[in-house]
Chains A and B, each alone.
Chain A
Amino acid sequence: MTLPSPLTPEQVYRRCPIDQLDFETTDSLEDLELPCGQERMLRALEFGASMKADGFNLFVLGPAGAGKHELVERFLANYTERQPVPSDWCHVHNFEFPDRPRALRLAAGEGRQFKKDMNDLAAELRTAIPATFESEEYQARLQELQEEMTKRQHQGLFEIQKEANANNIAMITTPAGFTFAPMRNGEVVDPEDYKKFSDEEKALVESKIEELQKKLQQTIQQFPRLGKEARERIHALNEEMVQLTLGGPIGELREKWRHNPAVVDYLDAIREDVVEHAEAFQDGENGPPSGLLARYKVNLLVDNAETTGAPVIYEDLPNHQHLAGQIEHRARQGTLYTDFTLIKGGSVHRANGGYLIIDAGRILGQPMAWESLKRILFSGEIRIESLERLYGLASTISLQPEPIPVSVKVVLLGDRMLYYLLAHYDPDFLDLFKVEADFEDDLNRDDDSYGLYARMIATMARQLKCRPLSREAVARLIEQASRLAADQRKLTAHDRALRDLISEADHWADRAGIVAIEADHMQQAIDEREFRASRIRDRSREQITRGIVMIATEGETVGQVNGLSVLRLGASMFGQPTRITATARPGKAQVVDIEREAKLGGPIHSKAVMILSRFLASQYAGDGELSLSASLAFEQSYGGVEGDSASVAETCVLLSAISRLPLRQSIAVTGSMNQHGEVQAVGGVNEKIEGFFDTCREAGKVHGQGVILPASNVEHLMLNQAVRKAITDGDFSIYPVSQINQAIEILTGMEAGEPDENGEFPEASFNRVVANRLSRFAEVSKKPEDGEGGSDSSGGADRD
């Protein structure tokens, strides 16, 4: 087998071709309106924004800091410019059912006019109606009416008095009513004189008085009816006068608003209401009660007078009230009261006819907000209800404003996990959010993309009000973007990471007093970021340097190899070597994964160990029996171990333990392996290599060390300057391997050996030694007396 050549410096780092950047500084580059490389997402946005059918709301997926919000807002601002401005909405008093304020729809900009018209009308009513009641005409008619009614009352009494007088009987007024007494010469007869009357006369007088009393009773009992009739006639007069007064102003308004039948209906309702409350307007001194006129106000809920195109609203606190609106209360002397003027619209009202952008994580964190939003989208109308009512906590009478029909496109922003969780757990979600706009994490890095990417960087720098970047600084940033994407053929699309780097580089350029950001400042920004995040990494390295954590970077040892692991802490990650050891002895065919036994190993790691044990069996035992009791451990690992990126290293160390052949400690290994011994790609290769390089450097001189990594990982390499220099100097090597045998050969310096047609490995090959040791194990296992008690064959034992 031919051994792979170590990688050249060009292979481990893809430079940005400076000639592709055709500018001096980014000042000469035009702004990029929409980001490059996000065609899928932009097409989804375009589709979602223009799709009219129900349920085609958008969910924009992407990692935090990808610039979703800014991009969506910019896109929609452009898109909605050409769309019609939606209607204004207002709430007005409902004269029929006062607790259910009516909603009126008006053309955009008419709301303000309507509000002003109604205020003017109220002001006119305040003066015009009392003036009508003070008018000569009204007063005269009122007086005529009153006089007529008084006369009718008086007439009855007068006739009784006349009848009494004709019969010589006086009708006397008492403080409480009337009484009758016999009269002579206009004076009441003295009771003493009356006694002298004959019995006949007395009987006549008394019967007449009784008759008169009855008549008087009947007459007086008519009075309430007459009074009621009088009141009714006065009310009718009031109504007539108010109708005439209102005719002018209401007629003008009806004419003005005749294009809107709902407004005309409302004006008619006002006229009826004023007529009904005519008496309340009669007080010329204080004017009509303010509560009465307040009902003619207009609560302009949505005012689109100054909106251009369809509205795009971002709700940064998407709770129930802010979305669906609320009914506020005013406290007066310890009592809360409300009316339709205290109805406040929510962001859905404002976004009606346009777009509403909401952060998915935030809306899910607000009680009932998600449910409310779904209800609005399902029903197509906004019903303003307070949270306490929704929860059934309040039973007081409140307003139930007429629901407002709504046509809004909701754009949710969130990370992918949230989208998939919602899609899985909320059965309504996919009905309502049918358009998924998925942000690309990375862009392709090719000759076409350099120019666009540079313009994107220029746009960001201008938006951030930073200095322009020199060509070299842009090149350095592009290289760093590849490193962030961990791929030589990709560039990161992560908005925040790039913006932060530009801002920081600008800061360092500012400190240096230079007008443009140079490559040095960009490098300084990268280094400073790394330094700030390096405390844990440095502590970890220090432990290795001081020998507390044992890592050998020189010499050869049996059953021991350097694996590589990656730790992610916050936004930064770093790699470091880990010692992996193995033991082997005869026994039942099993490889004990100590990490798993100690419950420190994850399922993927366990799977990788199972794969390697099956690889051992098929590779070396052939048709025979495999007798092996082996163990694998990550030394001095106290956290969990997960992933399969150590399976190449584990295979090698296990074979070393079985064969008792030592492995080079100067080579660290990463890579996963399948059952056929093929090496597969793993993640975090840059950090792993740099981590081992730093460990070697801190342990002494870097000379002859290296890393074995899967050949398919080569294009992910974007290694730092120090590693590249060591490679150039020949002090550090990186070996790309595609077969486990290649790794074995690099680590042992021996030929691995391919089996012949009988499954036999060549003499003096590594695999032959392994196969022989395993057949020895099998023989030992067959002897019952030896059994399980055989000697352990860990590192340091005799070699075959």
Chain B
Amino acid sequence: MTAVEAQIVTNTQEPEDQAATRGRVLVLIDGSRMSYAALEAAADIAGKRGADILGVFVEELNLVRSAGYGFSREVGSASGISRPFDPGILEQRMRRLADHARAALAGAVKRRGGKAALSVARGHVIEEVLALAGPDDLLVLGRAGWSSTAGARLGSTAQGLIRQSPGQVLLWCEQKLPYPNRVVVFLNDHDGANHRAALTAAEISRHYHQPVTIILGTDGEPTASRLDAIRQDLDVLGAGTRLRVMPDTDPITVARTLREERASRLVISRECALFTAPGAEQLLAALSLPITITP
């Protein structure tokens, strides 16, 4: 069901960064405010990496189907008013959203350079995205789509993609902090994952000129070899890097530590023990800052 449209913008400027070869930036656009914010962030990253950007607009099959019933009605998320809901209205809406997404994508790329394309597909969002995303691709998406208006802090799509995506996922969230910030990278006992997370943090730190704090979650005293590995990563992370060892990794303590560190971004590996801890999803939902999940 996927149809990738032709390249819509070409910037003649040659990408400077070597990382250009590393893969594309995929951004999930559903027409919600949060998804447009994610698009801006994705375009920014693509511009900095010199990567191509691929917008993904999925017409959710369940939604299309639900409009096909004669008795379908739509209950407004703000007013609670119930109105008839039919395929004609939905198709029209989808088209408009896709057009809007296309224009937004073109606008974002035009400002920052690079190549962009929009993929419009009908199906299940997670499936469609996984079909497009490769292990080198960065997937950018808003923390919640339309459901955010109803109070959801972390949408079901986001939850699914965090777990299933083959590459990095950036869970975007708009924020305004009045103070100079730090990139916080959360490490655990998986060395490979730690290294990947540290590299990603180093890249973000370089792009946004923000120092890095490493939080090392461990049950006891960290071993000497682990500390050596981390120190090697510290060289990558550059000056101003801070290391904090946190014996207790329950979500509330983590949230407090992040506030103390004045975190602007969180980098965390999918392998991290934090993900397996109970209440981890609530933690992700509660943190109002962009989170990068590395493989």
Contacts and interface: CB of A to CB of B under 8 A. Distances in A.
Interface of A: 134, 136, 139-140, 143, 147, 150, 153-154, 157, 170, 172-182, 187-191, 194, 206, 209-210, 213, 216-221, 223, 284-285
Contact of A176 (B62, B76, B151): B76
Contacts of B259: 136, 139-140
B19 interface: no
Nearest to A174: B74
Interface in B127-179: 145-147, 150-153, 178-179
B67 interface: yes
Contact of B78 (A188, A209, A220): A220
Contacts of B85: 174, 179
A139 B286 CA distance: 13
Contacts of B77: 176-178, 220
B195 to A, nearest CB: 32
Given A213-B73, A220-B80, A188 B61 contact: yes
Interface of B: 30-32, 60-63, 65-69, 71-82, 85, 90, 93, 97, 145-147, 150-153, 178-179, 256, 259-260, 286
Contact of B153 (A150, A210, A221): A150
Given A175-B93, A217-B82, A221-B80, A150 B151 contact: yes
Given A136-B260, A139-B259, A173-B147, A190 B65 contact: yes
Nearest to A212: B75
Max count, chain A CB within 10 A of own CB: residue among B81, B151, B178: B151
Nearest to A157: B150
Contact of B150 (A153, A182, A190, A213): A153
Nearest to A219: B80
Contacts of A170: 62, 66
Given A157-B151, A173-B150, A179 B74 contact: yes
Given A153-B150, A173-B147, A220 B67 contact: no
5 contacts: A134-B179, A174-B63, A180-B73, A181-B69, A181-B72
B153 A172 contact: no
B75 A216 contact: yes
Closest 5 CB pairs of A and B: A220-B80, A191-B68, A181-B66, A153-B151, A188-B62
B175 to A, nearest CB: 13
A191 B286 CA distance: 38
B69 A217 contact: no
Contacts of B82: 213, 217
B279 to A, nearest CB: 12
Name the residue among A154, A177, A194 with the largest chain B CB count within 10 angstroms: A177
Contacts of A221: 79-80
Contact of A143 (B62, B65, B90, B286): B286
B75 A188 contact: no
Contact of B76 (A136, A143, A177, A188): A177
Given A136-B260, A154-B152, A157-B151, A147 B286 contact: yes
Contacts of B90: 174
Contact of A154 (B69, B80, B151): B151
Nearest to A154: B151
B75 A220 contact: yes
Contacts of A140: 256, 259
Nearest to A284: B178
Given A136-B259, A153-B150, A220-B78, A175 B97 contact: yes
Nearest to A151: B151
B72 A175 contact: no
Contacts of A147: 286
Contacts of B31: 175
B99 to A, nearest CB: 14
B62 A217 contact: no
A136 B256 CA distance: 9
Contacts of B63: 172-174, 179
A129 B256 CA distance: 22
Contacts of A181: 62, 65-66, 69, 72
Nearest to B282: A147
Contacts of A157: 150-151
A257 B150 CA distance: 53
B145 to A, nearest CB: 7
A514 B179 CA distance: 82
B65 A174 contact: no
A188 B146 contact: no
A172 B62 contact: yes
A139 B31 CA distance: 31
Contact of B75 (A136, A154, A177): A177
Contacts of B260: 136
Contacts of A223: 78, 80
A206 B71 CA distance: 7
Contacts of A178: 74-75, 77, 150
A147 B152 CA distance: 11
Given A154-B152, A191-B68, 7 more contacts: A139-B259, A170-B66, A175-B30, A179-B72, A181-B62, A187-B62, A220-B78
Given A143-B286, A173-B145, A174-B146, A188 B151 contact: no
B291 to A, nearest CB: 17
Contacts of A217: 75, 80-82
Contacts of A177: 74-78
Contacts of A219: 80
Contact of A285 (B93, B178, B256): B178
A695 B252 CA distance: 121
Nearest to A139: B259
B76 A180 contact: no
B35 to A, nearest CB: 11
Nearest to A286: B178
A220 B149 CA distance: 11
A159 to B, nearest CB: 13
A15 B214 CA distance: 112
Contacts of B74: 174, 176-179
Nearest to B176: A285
A87 B74 CA distance: 73
Given A174-B146, A175-B32, A220 B76 contact: yes
Given A173-B145, A178-B74, A188 B65 contact: yes
A153 B61 CA distance: 27
A122 B260 CA distance: 29
B57 to A, nearest CB: 12
A635 B179 CA distance: 105
Nearest to B60: A172
A33 B262 CA distance: 77
Most buried by B among A147, A213, A284: A213
Contacts of B147: 173
A154 B145 CA distance: 15
B95 to A, nearest CB: 12
B42 to A, nearest CB: 20
B102 to A, nearest CB: 16
B211 to A, nearest CB: 20
Nearest to B148: A173
Nearest to B31: A175
A284 B178 CA distance: 7
A157 B155 CA distance: 13
A134 B72 contact: no
Nearest to B71: A206
Nearest to A153: B151
Nearest to B72: A179
A181 B150 CA distance: 19
A182 B68 CA distance: 11
Contacts of A190: 65, 68
A182 B82 CA distance: 18
A223 B78 CA distance: 8
Nearest to A183: B62
A634 to B, nearest CB: 99
Contacts of B68: 190-191
B82 to A, nearest CB: 5
Contacts of A284: 178
Q: Most chain-B CB neighbours within 10 Å: which of A150, A174, A219? A: A174
